[in-house]
Chain A
Amino acid sequence: MMDILNILLSESFWAASLRIATPLIFGVLGALICERAGVLNLGIEGIFVVGAMCGWMAVWLGAGLWGGVLVAALAGAFFGLLHAILTVPLGLSQHVSGLGITLFATSVSYYTYRTALPNVSSPPRIEPFQPLDLPILSDLPFLGSVLFQQTALTWLALLMVVVVWYVMNRTALGVALQAVGDNPDSVDAQGLSVYGLRIGAIVAGSALMALGGAFLTMSAFDAFFFGMVNGRGWVCIALVIFASWRPGKALLGALLFGAFDALQVRLQTEIGALVPGQVFLMAPYILSIIALVVAARSADYPRALLTPWFKGQR
């Protein structure tokens, strides 16, 4: 028991939690924007892979780090656009299209990687984002070392929480996005474009998802390797429900998951001899299932989620 307490009070634990949470924050925000507009984007897992690969490759080919981030976002937006065209004007099944995007995007990423680097045994490294060391602030006790060990991308993720919250709740665009996910007819009757809003939301959401992937290769690690996304996209889909489609709660959910994950790594070293390691690996997922069961019962789904809308049909 004391061990757990010690872990929870350590700075490195909280710093790790925030680091692990960062790609999830991007992912949950991206999924949240899509679903608020009424479209489920199961392409998220593949878009993570695309973001990870493209961001890394751009830097490896000589672009700057922020150039890599931009390339990753554009690549994510491209696959988002594909999903949007299939599900919005064509009205295809969002599940099928999303899973298709995930398979396609993942395979294309691996294919591109292998074609570009046919003969490498160990993945080539890039110089990743470094922790932002701010004078004075970094010296703050506890908070300083938790927050200021983080890279610029983590700060960007936290900033995006605020931005998404502001857009959703304080701008006409956000109101229209919420409305289009609840009752597209309300938006159409007021002369706004349902297709435009939904396509835009999916493209923007997918770009955010890709940043989650880019964080993995450009900040958390410094190389791209197979299987590195490892289900993070799926976790985000669950976290959106936990967050009831609210940016603030999305941050909370991502941090909780990050904390569970950071905790299990530390518990493995503490009491790993007693319990098989797989149990610890499972823990964050089991806990997120439990959290989801509790949260989903009262979840207020966007009413038009999964329902395609066609002009002129009521």
Chain B
Amino acid sequence: MRRPAFPMTTVLKLNGLSKRFGPVIANDDVSLTLNKGEVLALLGENGAGKTTLMNMLFGHYLPDSGSIEVADEAGVLQPLPLGHPQVALAAGVGMVHQHFTLAENISALDNITLGSEPLFALRRNRRAARRRIEAIIAQSGLTAPLDTPVGRLSVGERQRVEILKALYRDARILVLDEPTAVLTPQEADTLFENIRMMTAEGLSVIFISHKLREVLAFSDRIAVLRHGRKVGEMATSEADEASIARMMVGAETPELVGAAMVPGVPVLTLSGISVTGRSKRDTLSGVDLTVHAHEILGIAGVSGNGQSGLANVISGLMQPEQGLIKVNGSEIDTPSPVAMVRAGVGRIPEDRHREGIVGAMSVAENMVIERLDDPDVQSRGLLRREAIDDNADRLAKAYDVRGPGVEAPARLLSGGNIQKLILARVFDRSPRLILANQPTRGLDMGAAAEVGRRLLEARERGAGVVLISEDLDEILGLADRIMVIRDGELHEAPSRDREQIGLMMAGEPV
């Protein structure tokens, strides 16, 4: 815990902000203050109203009632005209969205200077811009290659570019929406070190997160939202994990513990699998891996080190150039998605919106989309609508899929409910092998715990699970065995030590 470096001067005041979307109350009379040089953590489940609140601050949404005051350069609070992102930017509010708002075909430098140069000038002063950015980098420690197209940067680098963008615009208040969701533990630590350097210079930070561990370690103050209301606010030094979790969820969350189990027969064997992908993310070299029944194998690694390739091979989307795939003891000669589904592989894809569902099709249709040739679903080529709807009603109930109904297009569901839809589709078939790629990314605690519970349940039933995750806590909590993927190679982790696995992920000799 650190001491505030500045006398308590308030730089931001949200006064009684309320926002409704139709019948839904997204924010109900929320008030917050932020002090200079402070890190305020905004905690809450998905749908608790954190992002709506920040979008009102940034002018993306117009509040129904309430007001906002932001300190000007002299430190005097001034009312902020609402509903204008331009005005918020000019007032020194910078926001780093969870989904990066970067153009990938232009360089980091161009992304940073975008919008702050006169559009119709015949020449650009890139040299001056570069000097300024380099000064900001020196002050904040946020390093990123400035001349490479952003599409070729790592996720961590892209995030640093996002923050640099805000700092380049002279942000005095920085809002970070789930900044660590896509980072390795080490990258997250670096980010927080950088944040500290910046707050020492007088920057004030609000960061939105679900991860209690990092909130406790890095914030000065914590505010908790639930169902659109502020339900608690405290100094971090007075908070502990159990009490915040209770405040967020409104009830105790059960600890996930898998019963001790003896691994059974191998359900998936990969031997000597090599794939040359289009990029590093889907390239594998000589991967050996075995998953047994009653076993969860955790694959830890920094994103983009071959996880996509591994997932694509196991789900049959990519044919390996070399190597052997065995599912349930029988070799798969020509891997294809259909062959893998038939062999008993259940797939929870990484990008649930794009690879998990067909957004324009109904929830009910999405629930049977992997088994369209099943006699339950069709007879003589015609879909059995009633059976499909009955199936959907049953699964929606069993897996608590909430939304505007099973007839509605799947894209209308929230992220958590889309994941529940996918879980329902996968687990209902009782697959022998489950491939779960980043299954809890972007989910709140309740939904993430549900995913973990289902995976443990499948393990108990006798399935083997490949759990690919960038969240080391998740792997440590669920996996029986841990392997680390790095540059397309897979290595068994010698222990369950956080530090050691983190170093292996970073490619350092252990």
Which of B113-121, B289-297, B353-361 is found at the contact surface with chain A?
B113-121
Q: Is A189 in the interface zone, CB < 8 Å from B?
A: yes
Query: Given the complex, which residues of A lie within 8 Å of B124, measured CB to CB?
Result: 170-172, 175
**Interchain CB contact (< 8 A) of A171 among B97, B114, B123:** B123
Name A residues whose Cβ lies closer than 8 Å to a Cβ of B: 170-173, 175-176, 178-183, 185-192, 300, 302-303, 312, 314
Q: Report whether A171 and B121 are in contact in the complex, using a CB–CB cutoff of 8 Å.
A: yes
Q: Report whether B115 and A176 are in contact in the complex, using a CB–CB cutoff of 8 Å.
A: yes
Using a CB-CB cutoff of 8 Å, which residues 90-115 of chain B contact chain A?
95, 97, 99, 101-106, 110-111, 113-115
Q: Report whether A191 and B86 are in contact in the complex, using a CB–CB cutoff of 8 Å.
A: yes
How far apart sit A314 and B115, CA to CA, in the bound complex (Å)? 20
A-B contacts, 12 of them at CB < 8 A, read A170-B123, A171-B124, A175-B106, A178-B105, A182-B104, A182-B106, A183-B101, A185-B101, A188-B85, A189-B85, A300-B105, A302-B105
Q: Report whether B113 and A179 are in contact in the complex, using a CB–CB cutoff of 8 Å.
A: no
Query: Given the complex, which residues of A lie within 8 Å of B60, measured CB to CB?
Result: 312
Q: Report whether A182 and B85 are in contact in the complex, using a CB–CB cutoff of 8 Å.
A: no
Contact status of A191 and B106, CB under 8 A, knowing A170-B123, A173-B119: no
How far apart sit A171 and B118, CA to CA, in the bound complex (Å)? 9
Name B residues whose Cβ lies closer than 8 Å to a Cβ of A: 60-61, 85-86, 89, 95, 97, 99, 101-106, 110-111, 113-124, 165, 169
Query: Given the complex, which residues of A lie within 8 Å of B89, measured CB to CB?
Result: 191
Contact status of A183 and B117, CB under 8 A, knowing A171-B122, A312-B60: no
Closest to B112 in A: A190
Query: Given the complex, which residues of A lie within 8 Å of B104, measured CB to CB?
Result: 182-183, 303
Query: Given the complex, which residues of A lie within 8 Å of B121, measured CB to CB?
Result: 171-172
Closest to B165 in A: A190
Q: Interface centre among B110, B114, B122, by most A CB within 10 Å?
A: B114
How far apart sit A190 and B118, CA to CA, in the bound complex (Å)? 13
Q: Interface centre among A171, A172, A173, A178, by most B CB within 10 Å?
A: A172
Closest to B166 in A: A189
Q: Report whether B120 and A189 are in contact in the complex, using a CB–CB cutoff of 8 Å.
A: no
Query: Given the complex, which residues of A lie within 8 Å of B114, measured CB to CB?
Result: 172, 175-176, 179, 186-187, 190, 192
Query: Given the complex, which residues of A lie within 8 Å of B117, measured CB to CB?
Result: 172
Query: Given the complex, which residues of B lie within 8 Å of A303, measured CB to CB?
Result: 104-105
Contact status of A172 and B105, CB under 8 A, knowing A179-B111, A191-B89: no
Contact status of A176 and B105, CB under 8 A, knowing A186-B114, A191-B86, A191-B89: no
Q: Report whether A189 and B123 are in contact in the complex, using a CB–CB cutoff of 8 Å.
A: no
Ranked nearest first, the 5 interchain pairs of A and B with the lowest CB-CB distance are: A190-B115, A179-B103, A189-B101, A172-B117, A182-B103
How far apart sit A181 and B103, CA to CA, in the bound complex (Å)? 8
How far apart sit A173 and B110, CA to CA, in the bound complex (Å)? 11
**Interchain CB contact (< 8 A) of A172 among B85, B99, B113:** B113
How far apart sit A303 and B150, CA to CA, in the bound complex (Å)? 13
Shortest beta-carbon distance from B401 to chain A in Å: 23
Q: Report whether A186 and B111 are in contact in the complex, using a CB–CB cutoff of 8 Å.
A: yes
How far apart sit A189 and B165, CA to CA, in the bound complex (Å)? 10
How far apart sit A71 and B257, CA to CA, in the bound complex (Å)? 76
How far apart sit A88 and B457, CA to CA, in the bound complex (Å)? 49
Shortest beta-carbon distance from A313 to chain B in Å: 10
Closest to A196 in B: B119
Query: Given the complex, which residues of A lie within 8 Å of B119, measured CB to CB?
Result: 171-173, 176, 192
Q: Report whether B97 and A189 are in contact in the complex, using a CB–CB cutoff of 8 Å.
A: yes
Query: Given the complex, which residues of A lie within 8 Å of B99, measured CB to CB?
Result: 185, 314
Shortest beta-carbon distance from B298 to chain A in Å: 32
Contact status of A190 and B116, CB under 8 A, knowing A171-B123, A172-B121, A312-B60: yes
How far apart sit A178 and B106, CA to CA, in the bound complex (Å)? 7
Shortest beta-carbon distance from B212 to chain A in Å: 26
Closest to A175 in B: B110
How far apart sit A314 and B60, CA to CA, in the bound complex (Å)? 11
How far apart sit A178 and B121, CA to CA, in the bound complex (Å)? 16
Q: Report whether B106 and A179 are in contact in the complex, using a CB–CB cutoff of 8 Å.
A: yes
Shortest beta-carbon distance from A125 to chain B in Å: 40
Q: Report whether A178 and B115 are in contact in the complex, using a CB–CB cutoff of 8 Å.
A: no
Query: Given the complex, which residues of A lie within 8 Å of B85, measured CB to CB?
Result: 188-189, 191
Query: Given the complex, which residues of B lie within 8 Å of A181, measured CB to CB?
Result: 105
Query: Given the complex, which residues of B lie within 8 Å of A192, measured CB to CB?
Result: 114-115, 119
**Interchain CB contact (< 8 A) of B103 among A171, A172, A173, A186:** A186
Query: Given the complex, which residues of A lie within 8 Å of B102, measured CB to CB?
Result: 183, 186
Q: Report whether A172 and B118 are in contact in the complex, using a CB–CB cutoff of 8 Å.
A: yes
How far apart sit A303 and B104, CA to CA, in the bound complex (Å)? 9
Q: Report whether A173 and B120 are in contact in the complex, using a CB–CB cutoff of 8 Å.
A: yes
Closest to B104 in A: A182
Besides the contacts A186-B103, A187-B114, A188-B85, what 10 more A-B pairs have beta carbons closer than 8 Å?
A171-B123, A176-B114, A178-B103, A179-B106, A180-B103, A182-B106, A186-B101, A186-B102, A190-B114, A314-B97
How far apart sit A187 and B85, CA to CA, in the bound complex (Å)? 12
How far apart sit A174 and B77, CA to CA, in the bound complex (Å)? 38
Q: Report whether A191 and B103 are in contact in the complex, using a CB–CB cutoff of 8 Å.
A: no
Query: Given the complex, which residues of B lie within 8 Å of A175, measured CB to CB?
Result: 106, 110, 113-114, 124
How far apart sit A181 and B122, CA to CA, in the bound complex (Å)? 21
Shortest beta-carbon distance from A170 to chain B in Å: 7
Query: Given the complex, which residues of B lie within 8 Å of A180, measured CB to CB?
Result: 103
How far apart sit A179 and B149, CA to CA, in the bound complex (Å)? 11
Q: Report whether B115 and A191 are in contact in the complex, using a CB–CB cutoff of 8 Å.
A: yes
Shortest beta-carbon distance from B413 to chain A in Å: 16
Q: Interface centre among A175, A192, A300, A312, by most B CB within 10 Å?
A: A175
Query: Given the complex, which residues of B lie within 8 Å of A176, measured CB to CB?
Result: 114-115, 119
